[in-house]
Amino acid sequence: MSERIFNFSAGPAVLPVEVLEEARESLLNFKGTGIGIMEHSHRGKAFSGVLAQTIADCRKVAQIPDDYQVLFMQGGASSQFFTIPMNLLSTDDTADYLVTGSWSKKAVSQAKRFGSAHKAASSEDRNFCYIPTEVSYSDAPKYVHMTSNNTIFGTQFASEPQVPSGVPLICDASSDIFSRPIDIRKYGMVYAGAQKNLGPSGVTLVIVRNDLVEQANSDIPEMLQYRTFAENDSCYNTPPTFGIFIMGLVFQWILKNGGLEEIGRSNEKKASILYDYLKTSELFSATADTDSQSLMNVTFVTGNESTDKKFIEAATAAGFDGLKGHRSVGGMRASIYNAFPEQGVVELVKFMKDFEAKA
């Protein structure tokens, strides 16, 4: 696989090479069936086995209790922004949102369609460069919503926020799902688009507690009800079978590589290599506050847009792809998700040092 370059894309993002290799073989002939994995019926024995194993491995990876559902939905996290309040809010209800970036702002705008959305905390005053610690919850929120990692601004919650007793915490973990140990019991729901840490785009993982499924509104379209997916093993209609298959391989890869404890240690080590350099560099600087910096998305700038552009062009030519920052903030962003190799971070720092020496 020597022709592969270092992929720093924020998503769709890098996948483990061994997962890609197994997928390649399975595209033509899955486990000797003579039929490729993408061609198998979602109700056939072959895919039913894949689905059951994927759910079992997901539960094993995150130690998910029996009173939580593991669902596979479509539409990405963006569809969950309206599906959650559509299921859980009425016009008289209020949901609290911790606003730490563009995606949580969009979640708020969707919640307002179905009830009241209270901004309990926000870091917009400094362009989302930090995770806020001052939180003011409403009197009786139906749930509290957070975005655990912010790809655009390079910030991440170090731990779960304290929420009012009995209030479900709902987390959009699209860009740091299973990047470190997680206590599912602290959440009512965790959801994530797969395309950053779990698999290809097109499938969304939803881990939701049974009581939230049961109490959800039933006068909405079936395809937007969590109970529909829970009661039909995510197969009410044709699910994204290939995405689920790849996700299952990724779960097996995580387990093979020591589980979330070891994955977390690996991610901390990778990020520290880059952050340690940024602390000493006279050219590059991190944009997120130190105590809020993401292990998944390292955002940095030179302070000069022209120099940023030159660096991105030179880095791309040297085999470091996807370093251009989001169009809304500019600068650079190195996305170093679970499957990104440590050697890629080492090589990037070497390249940055060389670029700085010549600047």
Return the active site residues.
103, 172, 196
Residue whose C-alpha is closest to residue 206's, from 160, 240, 181, 252: 240
CA dihedral (127, 158, 248, 60) in degrees, to 10, reads -160
Write out the H or E segment, with its range, that includes residue 117: strand 116-122
Largest CA distance in the chain: 64
Tokens matching residue 334:
């190195």
Cβ contact 243:200 at 8 Å: yes
Among 92, 95, 98, 100, which Cα is nearest to 83's? 95
Burial of 255 (0-12, 13-18, 19+ CB in 10 A): middle
Indicate the pairing of strand 332-335 with strand 297-301.
Answer: antiparallel
